[in-house]
Amino acid sequence: MRILVTGGAGFIGSHINVQALEMGHEVVVIDNLSHGTRENVPAGARFVYGDILSPESWVDQVGPVDAVIHLAAQISVAASESDPLTDLRLNLEGTLRMLAVAKTLGASQFRTASSAAVYGNVDQLPLREDGPAWPISFYGWSKYTAEQYVKHFADLNHMQAIIFRLANVYGPRQRTQGEGGVVAVFCEALARNETVEIHGDGEQTRDFVYVGDVARAFLHRLADPGPVSVYNVSTQTRTSVRALFEMLARAAGVSSQSYRVGAKRPGDITDSLLSQHKAKLWGFEPITPLTDGLEATWHYFREKEAQR
């Protein structure tokens, strides 16, 4: 298949590129390099510089595609709270524009990244796709609203669409911003021998999923995706932020008490745990244990710091 990946020079996109090429797919990457890097685009993929808010400047350079994987987005809860208009434009308008691009380029399939943030603080854990969703941040609302646009557009245009509500994604090449960015923040601080700051009491819990598994989800059942659906991509395992730091501290060989406490961040969810049930019925589940994923991520950041 010929696949267009928006935001393909970024963290998750870079892993999708590699796996897609290994599977024999042809990959075209669209990115404005505002957060991604050219080095994240493998030699076998074609790179086209472009912004999702102005597709008219690049769409003619792409050619027909079979599928669009839409990743380009605003991913920071804090940024959405301070600048909700930019968050809305990138996450909602950007998604709608990429749906139109998919139609223009003849794509029969559209896949996009949503977030666990759409659920908000829901008491019933694990969070299910058919359960309540009540975001507590502009970011969560923009992602949830974008989901509805994807479903409606797909229905109107007879397009196959899959929406992935991602748990806290972590792994090599991650930036220190975004929903899963706590792993990258901790690794970078440890690699620089800086004191780690834990926001709040550290007992808030997250569902951490390795980026290699997330890439596998985006490429799962490309030939036979089934009906328009929303799937959680998660491990269905709760890990507190404090426990996460303790695991990374062991990997780095430092004291698990070497951190400072900071203020709780606005818009942060207290507990997040996503159900795997629906994804398993679809035939997908992650395979990377948290300890293995954290070890790989720590080594990446340690080597990156050594090269500075």
In the set 119, 139, 170, 259, the catalytic residue is 139
CA–CA–CA angle 30, 34, 38 (5° rounding): 55
* Alpha carbons 136 and 124: distance in angstroms, whole number: 16
What tokens were used for 247?
A: 């695991």
Kindly give the pairing relationship between strand 229-233 and strand 160-166.
parallel
252 SS3 class: helix
Cβ(67)–Cβ(25) below 8 Å: no
For the chain, strand residue ranges (E) read 2-6, 26-31, 46-49, 67-70, 109-115, 160-166, 168-170, 196-199, 205-206, 208-210, 229-233, 239-240, 259-262
* Alpha carbons 22 and 89: distance in angstroms, whole number: 34
Inter-CA distances, 205 with 21, 134, 191, 244, Å: 35, 18, 24, 9
* Alpha carbons 29 and 90: distance in angstroms, whole number: 18
**Phi, psi values for residue 220, rounded to 5°:** -75, 130
* Alpha carbons 216 and 288: distance in angstroms, whole number: 11
Residue 139 appears among annotated catalytic residues: yes
Kindly give the pairing relationship between strand 205-206 and strand 160-166.
unpaired
What tokens were used for 174?
A: 């991650």
Element (H, E) at 21: helix 11-22
Enzyme catalytic residues? 139
